[in-house]
Chains A and B, each alone.
Chain A
Amino acid sequence: MTPALIGKKMGMTRVYDAKGTVVPVTVVQAGPCAITQIKTVDSDGYYAVQLGFGQAAPRHSTMPQIGHCAKAGVGPLRHFREIRLAAATDQTLGATVNVSLFSDVKFVDVIGVSKGKGFAGVMKRYHFGGQCASHGTERKHRSPGSIASRATWRGQCGKPKKGVRMAGHMGVDRVTTRNHSLVKIDAERNLMLIKGALPGANGAVVFIRKSITARIRPEAPVEAPKAEAKKK
């Protein structure tokens, strides 16, 4: 199975690596996840597994949710996530998977929901430069400036183009951050130390998978021993 888990962001700290340099890491409580559904070409037209994570109180669950989890022999779960597979998996329904899936993974991608920023102006939302602090600027220091002119549609109408960047709601978006170095795995406590900041607040649910884009540098070429070089 492709290494992937649902987890909970616990917070950030720093650790020291083998060389003694500081590495900023995010601690993630990853799994254990239950396999709540297995999809095959015969049943659904493609191969996939569904992971479930986090206990939900039965009184807050609907009967369909409880029934779906009961098929896998687990209590009602809160968060689900499907992972597409290229071929049939050897995992069984109701089995639990944990961080040991990632034992030989070096880089991971993390998907989460970013922190809400509310109604944000263009300087914060799109990194616009804003206007002058002085030179006669009044009450317009953070405004976007011109959004269109009469010539925007070749003089046909005076409307702004579709998709012009303006102020609006920011945050609470699905965000994928890629190629985080996986610093450490703690199988006993189901923890992962992932380098760098992850989307969302502490306590947010994140999805972690083996990086699909990371280009792993080949190991440094081993220099031939000097004794051998002399012989040649």
Chain B
Amino acid sequence: MSYGIVKEIEQEYMKKEVPAFKVGDTVDVATRIVEGDKERIQVFSGTVIMVKSSGINQTFTVRRIVNNEGVERIFPTHSPFIASITVKRSGQTRRAKLFYLRDRVGKATRLSEKKAKKIEVPSDTPVEAAK
């Protein structure tokens, strides 16, 4: 049992705008790295293979191949250390968790590009008929 007031507090700590990304997307995640009193931005780019939980607890896992070695990083979506998330490419997937990519090597790790959904509704169609 949780109270609405807890959700309100979470709202205060959540980012107002989070770019829409989905499992299968290729993203660039810019993270702030603080070294002493200097701050720089490092970009980690790869495929989103998992989005877990929701609200302030949401995290996502990005997988990429570095020197023939799979590297996965888990980012909390609402962390202040994440400067930006940029979607480079949207992949077509049929499942919510892409753990099967871990068993794949080379070209097999690619995902086919998602086709933009085309919805064509003639302008003279009555609303009831569309249902």
A141 sits at the interface (CB 8 A): no
Of the residues B5, B10, B78, contact of A29 by C-beta under 8 Å: B5
A16-B9 in contact (CB<8A): no
Asked, given contacts A13-B56, A16-B80, whether A27 binds B13 with beta carbons under 8 Å apart, the answer is no
> Closest residue to A12 on the B side, CB-wise?
B6
A10-B6 in contact (CB<8A): yes
Report chain B residues within 8 Å CB of A14.
13, 56-57
A48 sits at the interface (CB 8 A): no
Of the residues B9, B32, B76, B78, contact of A27 by C-beta under 8 Å: B9
Number of A-B contacts (CB under 8 A): 44
> Closest residue to B57 on the A side, CB-wise?
A14
B9-A202 in contact (CB<8A): no
A15-34: CB near B (< 8 Å → 1, else 0) gives 11000101000010100000
Asked, given contacts A14-B57, A203-B1, whether A191 binds B9 with beta carbons under 8 Å apart, the answer is yes
A54 sits at the interface (CB 8 A): no
B85 CB, nearest partner CB in chain A, Å: 16
B6-A27 in contact (CB<8A): yes
> Closest residue to B1 on the A side, CB-wise?
A202
B2 sits at the interface (CB 8 A): yes
Chain B contact residues, majority secondary structure: mixed
Of the residues A11, A16, A20, contact of B6 by C-beta under 8 Å: A11
- Chain B interface size band reads 10 to 19
The complex places the Cα of A159 from the Cα of B114 at a distance, in Å, of: 75
Give B1-51 interface residues, CB cut-off 8 Å to A. Answer: 1-3, 5-6, 9-10, 13, 32
B99 sits at the interface (CB 8 A): no
A140 sits at the interface (CB 8 A): no
B93 sits at the interface (CB 8 A): no
Report chain A residues within 8 Å CB of B80.
16, 20
B11 CB, nearest partner CB in chain A, Å: 10
B79-98: CB near A (< 8 Å → 1, else 0) gives 11100000000000000000
B9-A193 in contact (CB<8A): yes
B54 CB, nearest partner CB in chain A, Å: 13
Report chain A residues within 8 Å CB of B76.
22
The complex places the Cα of A11 from the Cα of B2 at a distance, in Å, of: 6
Contacts from B to A (Cβ < 8 Å): 1-3, 5-6, 9-10, 13, 32, 56-57, 76, 78-81
Contacts from A to B (Cβ < 8 Å): 10-16, 20, 22, 27, 29, 189, 191, 193, 201-203
